[in-house]
Structure 1
Amino acid sequence: MTTDDCPFCAIVRSESPAIRIHEDEHTLAFLDIRPVSRGHTLVIPKRHSPNLEALPVDDGARVFAVAQRIALAMRRGPVAADGVHLVVNDGRAAMQTVFHAHMHVVPRHRGDKVSLAAGLATRRRHDPQQTGADVRAGLEPGREGEK
């Protein structure tokens, strides 16, 4: 896959739609179009790397730092997650389907084992505009020290 046919590169170039959660010079975070749970967000480096082997260490560190911020936002904001999965699928055998390195930030709630299993099977969108606003709300300044 090249940057020309990479769906995540198309999102970076604003050629494909996405509910953007966070963006800076090096990274972009947006809602997964097939979420496992409400608020499921992907964090990508803007520079194309098809997998972990090709991912420059500095881009990986930036992706992780943004994923950590998004995870905290999911706990502190309206998503009200009790926990968060940070997941990287690297290669076909690990169920990677888009070959642009990325990290999934999946909010979890106490007792959601059954709904998480259903979410893995169905992966349905949850009012993406409101969900995006709810995840971004936790990123607002002033929430850094809140619990």
Structure 2
Amino acid sequence: MEDCLFCKIVTGEIPSNKVYEDAFVYAFTDIDPKAPVHILLIPKKHLKSILEVKGEDFEYINAMVKAAQKIAEEKGIAADGFRLVFNTGENGGQTVHHLHMHLLGGRYMEWPPG
């Protein structure tokens, strides 16, 4: 999608601090971190939200989770724990309408989150 911020990050039109990339996923540090480790993982295919994921698109979700596992290990937060979050829609806190998953860790995560 031509006006999508995250699509532009995937193509390199907008710079980011990349931490991981494969055929399905691009991951980068959040510019407004909410934890010591705050990584955004996005599918390389434009999907507006988790509600658009159908059929073959689930391979992107699988790849995102596998990438999150790898990143959590590399960042040293896997053993103590971390949080994975999909914000969906306005009331869910989604501000960029390209599916993305937050990987947060490096501190104790309060519950409820907010």
Range of TM-score over shorter length: 0.7 to 0.9
Q: Are positions 1:93 and 2:72 aligned together?
A: no
Shift of 1:81: 7.5
Q: Equivalent residue for 2:8?
A: 10
Unaligned residue ranges in structure 2 (runs of 5+): none
What is the percentage of aligned positions where both structures have the same residue?
Answer: 37
Q: Equivalent residue for 1:57?
A: 58
Is the 8 Å Cα contact of residues 41 and 100 (structure 2) preserved in structure 1? Answer: yes
- Normalized per residue, the structure richer in strand is 2
- Normalized per residue, the structure richer in helix is 1
Provide the alpha-carbon RMSD of the alignment: 2.1
CA–CA distance in 2 between the matches of 1:81 and 1:8? 30
Deviations 1:85-130 (A, max 9, x none): 11111111100001111110011325x76xxx9xx9xxxxxxxxxx
Is the 8 Å Cα contact of residues 37 and 106 (structure 2) preserved in structure 1? Answer: no
- Matched residues, number: 109
CA–CA distance in 2 between the matches of 1:75 and 1:81? 7
TM-score (norm 2): 0.85
In our comparison, the structure showing a higher alpha carbon Rg is: 1
TM-score (norm 1): 0.67
Unaligned residue ranges in structure 1 (runs of 5+): 121-147
